[in-house]
Amino acid sequence: MSTNEQRVAEIVAEHAAREGAMMPILHDVQHEFGCVDAAAEAVIARELNLSRADVHGVVSFYHDFRETADARPEVQICRAEACKARGVEALIPAAEKAAGDRVRLTTVYCLGLCSAGPSARVGDRLHARLDASGLADVIEAAR
């Protein structure tokens, strides 16, 4: 999906009066369209009276914002120190196999469930104490 210019302008208008409106705007655009593409950046720049470079600089800085949408479901797997200590690295090959081309696996550095790793996130749903089969179930259930 690409962004709809009119809708992006509406989102900007909703937040424009707030202090530091940029991040809330980008989150809403990302949430609605699955990306903040060049067309959206141009609209945001115009409405906030910034250069397109200013907006692109912000979008490209943060891991959460994508420049193109990906329709596949996303499963985030924590691979930071605490989850490594609990063996997440050994689960990765099987997870990649379970994901195949259908699911996008991404690495996240810490979901804050460090005493009960390995952990994963799908949307706003968290999973902890995963073993190989638990993680495979999470990946297979991801929609």
Partner 1 sequence: MIVRISDDALARALGADELAETFANKGHEVQRTSSWGMHWLEPLVEIDGTGFGPATIADVDAILAGSSDKAIGEIVEHPFIARQQRLTFARAGQTRPTSLEDYAATGGWSGLERARRIGGTQIIEEVTASGLRGRGGAGFPAGIKWKTVAATPGEQKYIVCNADEGDSGTFADRMLMEGDPYALIEGMAIAGEAVGADQGYIYVRSEYPDAIRKLEQALALCAEVIAPFRCEVRVGAGAYVCGEETSLLNSLEGLRGEVRAKPPLPAIEGLFGKPTVVNNVLTLAAVPHILGEGGSSAYDALGIARSKGTMPIQLAGNIRHGGLYEVAFGITLRELVYDVGGGTDSGRPVKAVQVGGPLGAYLHPDQFDIRFDYEAYTEADALIGHGGITVFDDTADMGAMARFAMEFCAAESCGKCTPCRIGSVRGVELIDRIRAGGRRADAVEALPVMHNAPKSGRLPEQEIGLLTDLCETMKFGSLCALGGFTPYPVMSALKNWPEDFMPGREGAVRKVLDRNDA
Residues that bind partner 1 (CB under 8 A): 19-24, 26-27, 57-58, 61-65, 78, 80-86, 108-117, 119, 121, 124, 126-129
Q: Closest distance between partner 1 and the C-beta of residue 92, in Å?
A: 14
Taking the least distance from each CB to partner 1, the nearer of 3 and 127 is: 127
Closest of 67, 70, 62 to residue 38, by C-alpha: 67
Distance, CA of 82 to CA of 75 (rounded, Å): 19
Residue type for position 47? E
Taking the least distance from each CB to partner 1, the nearer of 101 and 143 is: 143
Q: Which residues contact 37 (CB under 8 A, 6 or more apart)?
A: 2, 3, 67, 68, 69
Q: Closest distance between partner 1 and the C-beta of residue 138, in Å?
A: 11
Taking the least distance from each CB to partner 1, the nearer of 102 and 109 is: 109
Q: Closest distance between partner 1 and the C-beta of residue 2, in Å?
A: 21
Q: Are 91 and 99 in contact (CB under 8 A)?
A: no
Taking the least distance from each CB to partner 1, the nearer of 95 and 113 is: 113
Taking the least distance from each CB to partner 1, the nearer of 87 and 102 is: 87
Q: Are 11 and 22 in contact (CB under 8 A)?
A: no
Per-residue DSSP letter, 91: G
Q: Closest distance between partner 1 and the C-beta of residue 24, in Å?
A: 7
Q: Closest distance between partner 1 and the C-beta of residue 8, in Å?
A: 16
Q: Which residues contact 6 (CB under 8 A, 6 or more apart)?
A: none
